[in-house]
């Protein structure tokens, strides 16, 4: 096989003093942090769609990036070459996981049967490359948003025939993910939303989405797929409003349709900020409600304000995210998947390495900082002191749901004005900066 990244050898850990841009300064896979290796905490994954299929197109122009593995007029040859390139990249970077959509790895054929045949051929090669390298899917998924049949959504399409096509596609994508030993399967609501309510029956569409996910749960049981199901929130883009708009909306949906036992969430940082939240907020909501699953690691751009999917380099945000994640027990089936793309002027293959090395080093630093914050326990102590009065007999009775309004009135009439305390936000922020510097 030709080498697609000959200019890069295996990426190694050289420590913070290294000046080699193609070496890790902070990510040392085997280093133990809070009793677990960095690799086991962070579970890095490379995404197929941006890293190997993204060629830098934007609404103003076509792609700028030319890749050697695209150099054939036969789509199946391109698919095979791309897979070889991908596994060379995963191995050189030293990640254990990858993520894919069905249509990223194999081209769509003229019929569903043809598409499935293409997929089977590529999956056979993927199994061989996985065996050679030991790399596995963190999760798989189906692309239910690119083909024009899905313009009005997939599970929420006004046509049951489109619903059926989408279900058939997910059925196959689940089988393939299982065959490759995937640790999970993601449902991101591609075009499950609306552009105008003038043509949309929202209640009906939500019911259909619930039915679709129940069919997936049933099929999972039927084939014995043991991977974790995830829903990935996003508030808008491509539709004006996506039904799975944020972690809160997903949780309400899962509860209403009795799906909460079968799904966790895949939180993407840039989707959180598009929803008007922070990355940490979305994770904190998941921890508080027992639905923390996996993470799509990236960042947006404050000034562009769109789903720019940039590589995560913001140490502050990553530290706060990991602080919450570690307190929530860390990843089980999930991991940090770089759902991020290089900018369209970053046209060289080596730019893909710079991007991933930067993201991995940022999270490795963040992990060490968050671990120190947890070990020292200063923030946790502050929070538990702030709520200490809830641990008294009076507080516990209210929290247990055993108190009444009349008792509250009696208490207030006898105790008078409550004593209030400072939230100490600035002190805490200074403390955080001291950890980060």
Q: What angle do CA 342, 264, 158 make, to 5 degrees?
A: 80
DSSP letter at 52 equals: I
User: Is position 186 an interface residue for ligand XLS (rule: CB under 6 A)?
Assistant: yes
Which part of the chain contacts Ca ion (CB under 5 A), choosing from 67-75, 168-176, 286-294, 335-343? 335-343
* Residue 281 Cβ vs ligand XLS, minimum distance, rounded to whole Å: 18
CB 292 within 8 A of CB 328: yes
Q: Which does 367 bind (CB under 5 to 8 A by kind): Ca ion, ligand XLS, none?
A: none
| Cis before 169? omega within 30 | no
Binding string, residues 289-318; x marks residues near Ca ion by CB under 5 A: -------x----------x-x---------
Length of the chain: 437
CA distance 35 to 43: 15
Q: At its nearest, how many Å lie between ligand XLS and the CB of residue 85? A: 20
CB of 296 to ligand XLS, least distance (A): 5
Q: How far is the CB of 53 from ligand XLS (least distance, A)?
A: 11
Q: Which two tokens stand for residue 117?
A: 């045949």
Asked if 185 is part of the footprint of ligand XLS (rule: CB under 6 A), the reply reads no
The question of whether 208 is a catalytic residue gets the answer no
Instruction: Compute the radius of gyration of the chain from its Cα atoms.
Output: 24
Q: Find tokens 């099929």 and name the residue.
A: 219
Catalytic one of 96, 102, 104, 244:
104
At its nearest, how many Å lie between Ca ion and the CB of residue 313?
16
Q: 336: which strand partners?
A: 44, 295
* Distance of alpha carbon 264 from alpha carbon 247, whole angstroms: 10
Establish if 188 lies at the interface with ligand XLS (CB under 6 A). yes
Residue 391, C-beta contacts closer than 8 angstroms, at least 6 positions apart: none
In the shown chain, the binding pattern of residues 101 to 130 toward ligand XLS, with x for contact by CB under 6 A and - for none, equals x-----------------------------
Q: Does 282 bind ligand XLS (CB under 6 A)?
A: no
| 262 assigned to active site | no
Kindly write down the DSSP assignment for every residue of 82-102, as one continuous string. Answer: HHHHHHHHHHHHT-SEEEEEH
Residues that bind ligand XLS (CB under 6 A): 101, 141, 186, 188, 232, 234, 268, 296, 307, 339
């Amino acid at each position: 096989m030709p080498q697609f990244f000959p200019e890069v050898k295996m990426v190694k850990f050289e420590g913070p003093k290294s000046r080699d841009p193609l070496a890790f300064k902070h990510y040392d896979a085997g280093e133990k942090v809070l009793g677990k290796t960095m690799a086991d905490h962070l579970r890095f994954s490379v995404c197929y769609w941006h890293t190997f299929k993204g060629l830098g197109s934007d609404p103003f122009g076509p792609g700028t990036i030319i890749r050697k593995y695209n150099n054939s007029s036969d789509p199946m040859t391109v698919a095979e070459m791309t897979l070889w390139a991908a596994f060379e990249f995963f191995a050189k970077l030293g990640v254990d996981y990858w993520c894919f959509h069905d249509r990223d790895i194999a081209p769509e054929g003229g019929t569903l049967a043809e598409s499935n045949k293409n997929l089977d051929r590529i999956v056979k090669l993927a199994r061989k490359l996985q065996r050679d390298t030991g790399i596995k899917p963190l999760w798989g998924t189906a692309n239910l948003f690119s083909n024009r049949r899905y313009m009005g959504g997939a599970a929420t399409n006004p046509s049951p025939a489109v619903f059926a096509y989408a279900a058939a596609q997910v059925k196959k994508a689940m089988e393939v993910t299982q065959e490759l030993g995937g640790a999970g399967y993601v449902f991101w609501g591609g075009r499950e939303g609306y552009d105008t309510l003038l043509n949309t029956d929202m209640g009906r569409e939500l019911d259909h989405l619930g039915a679709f996910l129940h069919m997936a749960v049933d099929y999972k049981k039927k084939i014995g797929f043991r991977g974790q199901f995830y829903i990935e929130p996003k508030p808008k883009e491509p539709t004006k409003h996506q039904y799975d708009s944020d972690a809160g909306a997903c949780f309400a949906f899962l509860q209403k349709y009795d799906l909460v036992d079968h799904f966790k969430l895949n939180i993407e940082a840039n989707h959180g900020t598009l929803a008007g939240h922070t990355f940490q907020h979305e994770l904190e909501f998941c921890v508080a409600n027992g639905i923390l699953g996996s993470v799509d690691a990236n960042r947006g751009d404050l000034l562009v304000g769109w789903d720019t999917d940039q590589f995560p380099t913001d140490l502050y945000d990553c530290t706060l995210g990991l602080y919450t994640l570690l307190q929530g027990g860390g990843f089980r089936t999930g991991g940090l998947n770089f759902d991020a793309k290089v900018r369209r002027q970053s046209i060289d293959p080596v730019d893909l390495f710079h991007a991933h090395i930067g993201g991995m080093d940022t999270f490795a630093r963040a992990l060490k900082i968050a671990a120190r914050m947890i070990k020292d326990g200063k923030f946790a102590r502050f929070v538990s002191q702030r709520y200490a009065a809830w641990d008294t007999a009076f507080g516990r009775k209210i929290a247990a749901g055993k108190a009444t309004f009349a008792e509250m009135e009696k208490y207030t009439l006898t105790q008078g004005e409550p004593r209030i305390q400072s939230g100490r936000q600035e002190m805490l922020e200074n403390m955080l900066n001291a950890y980060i510097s």
